[in-house]
Amino acid sequence: MKYMMVIKYDGSKFYGFQRQKNVRNVQGYLEEEISNALGEKVLIKGAGRTDRGVHAYCQVIHFETIKKIKGLKKILNKRLVDLKVKKIKKASNIFHARHSVKNKIYLYKIDLSNKRDKNYYLSMNYKLDLKNMRLASNMFLGTHNFKNFVAGERIDYVGTIINIKIYRFNKILYLKFKGIGFYRYMVRNLVGALIEVGKGKVNRSIIKEMINHPEIEKRLPTSSPNGLYLLKINY
């Protein structure tokens, strides 16, 4: 039987989502706890990998088991540390945590007061031009080759940004991204670029050039993983 599980976790306590040897990671930790609870070896597949320091309000995984899972959520939540199970439900045989995703929403938090815990926010001393940042963010909307905003080598760099919202509340600046095809460091690089625009260090024309001419390699700062949250996954 296949099951879908929705989890949340504190990324500052893990070396990312992906299974790795000799370090605490979400995938390996959760597999071990589910396997111990069910009394059989269980492997999980995630909707995507979050890097070290990146948090999740809503990560989705799936796993298969022949065992009954009644009470599993309660059992796991008594044992898990820095990670909680929000929901477990039966999934169809064709469901896949990653391949069935329609779009994802990421949230980035910037502490403008420079007083909050730096494990969960990017601290910022600069006064940012939010109007200019919003104008620059519009250039990311739609389907583009995001090669200049992705880390590492890929065959395909094309992604689609459906919506970007930038808003401020209680001395926290929020940047919310909804899209299809987020790649390694992509959100952090988009945030980094928008911050440079907000500081007045980069003109919006540079952003346009980086999008329209991916063959001309250009890099802007990558923002800290600590302020990034996987907010929601839509199927």
Q: Is 156 considered catalytic here?
A: no
> Residue 38's closest CA among 65, 62, 7, 60?
65
Catalytic residue among 10, 51, 82, 129: 51
Residue 160 CB-density burial (10 A; 0-12 exposed, 13-18 middle, 19+ buried):
middle
Contact (Cβ atoms closer than 8 angstroms) between residue 95 and residue 47: no
Q: 188-200 burial string, b = 16+ CB within 10 Å, else e?
A: bbbbbbbbbbbee
Do residues 56 and 35 make contact, with C-beta atoms less than 8 angstroms apart?
A: no
Q: What is the largest CA-CA distance in the chain?
A: 58
- Which residues belong to the active site? 51
